Amino acid sequence: MDKNLEDARVESYAGHKGDETPRAVILEGKRFAVLNIISRKRALDRASGKMADIWVCRLDDGRAMTVELLEDGAWRVSAAA
């Protein structure tokens, strides 16, 4: 199930090169640290027609989540397939 989590928030870090990297995901008021990045890619977002950076992350509770940073700066979080 790839349900979009509308109320999710993302904490990120921008390194010296300015690339955003997700560090934590807040779901239903609880903060889950990103333990590791499983994969990362840049792809066209079908919904907006704009580019998005997409990470598959392992959270500290064991879940794998897909975290997307859209061109407009908005974050989108969903359960990884």
Mean pLDDT by 10 residues, the chain (81 residues): 69 74 93 96 87 95 94 89 77
Is 2 contained in some domain?
no
Supply the range of the domain harboring residue 58. 9-79
User: What pLDDT is recorded for position 17?
Assistant: 62
The residues, ordered by sequence, that sit 6+ positions from 72 with a Cβ below 8 Å of its Cβ are: 48, 50
User: What pLDDT is recorded for position 16?
Assistant: 64
The structural domain count of the chain equals: 1
42-58 tens-digit pLDDT: 999 887 788 999 999 99
Q: How many Å apart are CA 52 and CA 75, to the nearest integer?
A: 9
User: What pLDDT is recorded for position 45?
Assistant: 80
Is 1 contained in some domain?
no
pTM score: 0.83
Is 3 contained in some domain?
no
